[in-house]
Amino acid sequence: MVVVVVSCFFTVLLSVPGRLYGYVNFAHKELQQIYDAESAIMSHLYRVPEDSVRKILPVEVRNLGAYREICAPLGESLADSCRRLCVQTVGRYRDMGYREWQRFAGEFRTGLYRRVEFAKAHRRESGNKRIFSLDSSLSLHVVDGDLRLDVDGRVPSANFIVDGDVKVSGKARYDTLRIFAQGRVDVGGNLQISLLEVFASDEVEIRGNVNFRGVVFSQKGFVIGGKSVAAYPSFAVAVGFGNARGMLADKASFAGLLVAPGGEVSLRSSALYDSSTRVLPAFDETEEFVFNRNFVQ
């Protein structure tokens, strides 16, 4: 019995290092993949010449309007396959004059129009449109009319060019909502918007219970009120001259940058504005930094 017990004991002791070695080898492989991906992303951010770094991974860069997304492959692992490490970046803040903001507005306006126009299955329809149901991604140009978007549920991607006014309401969650409007834009209801991009030739008003991260450019002014929450880093810009005004009202909170270079921005006492880490859109030619990091398939 003693010999049997001792034999079992030593068998267990001998098997433990084998299992531990396998776990350590797996963790080392995972860590090395993450290190290689992060090295490739940082080399791209700091413009390190490719020929100065050996075996650097290729990166994929995607324009997300005011943000940039940089992804590097992680290769195959024992847990998942074809995973990627992605980071989102913005630019560091610097003082800019009115003319530079006008240039920013032009770049954003052109880029947003193209992102909507070249979105998958883009189509044109004339007259006023009202949409109550949206189960899949949509890209639509409303010619000579207004748009009313009153959708409940989950929406992967909604992209609109509208020759008139736009009103968004309902109780929905948008992965992406892009609006290019020649008129006024009103966003309200109970909405969750992971990425919001708006350009309006008239005013933009966001009220109700709207949670978003994104960028709003308006020619005449903007109002962000109600219980709306703009996550860091967001941008709201009134680019008109003279009477262009921005307002953070009611119990809204905004983390990022509020600016009216040709007018003024006002804040109600109950509103919350966090500009401690001021930022600029990534298409500004300044140093970029990472504000979000995640693993995706």
Distance CA 157, CA 122 (A): 12
Strand 264-267 and strand 245-248: pairing? parallel
Residue 80 confidence (pLDDT):
55
Q: Answer with the residue of higher pLDDT: 104 or 18.
A: 104
| Adjacency order of strands within the sheet including 129-131 | 129-131, 147-150, 166-169, 185-187, 203-206, 221-224, 245-248, 264-267
- Percentage above 70 pLDDT, the chain: 88
pLDDT at 280 over 70: yes
Taking the CB of residue 159, how many other CB atoms lie within 10 A of it? 24
**Contacts (Cβ under 8 Å, ≥6 apart) of 287:** 91, 92
Per-residue pLDDT averaged across 52-57, rounded? Answer: 75
Q: What tens digit of pLDDT does each residue of 127-163 get?
A: 999 999 988 899 999 999 999 999 999 999 999 999 9
pLDDT level of residue 202 (50, 70, 90 thresholds): very high
Tens digits of residue pLDDT in 221-247: 999 999 999 999 999 999 987 788 999
Q: Report pLDDT for 168.
A: 98
Model pLDDT, residue 187: 98
Q: What is the pLDDT of residue 78?
A: 46
pTM of the model: 0.86
Tell me the pLDDT tens digit for each residue of 171-189. Answer: 999 999 999 999 999 999 9
**d(Cα 239, Cα 236) in Å, to the nearest integer?**
10
d(CA 24, CA 29): 9
The pLDDT of residue 182 is 97
Report the relative pairing of strands 123-126 and 83-92 from DSSP bridges: unpaired
- 102-119 pLDDT tens trace: 998 999 999 999 999 999
pLDDT at 75 over 80: no
CA–CA separation, 135 and 187 (whole Å): 20
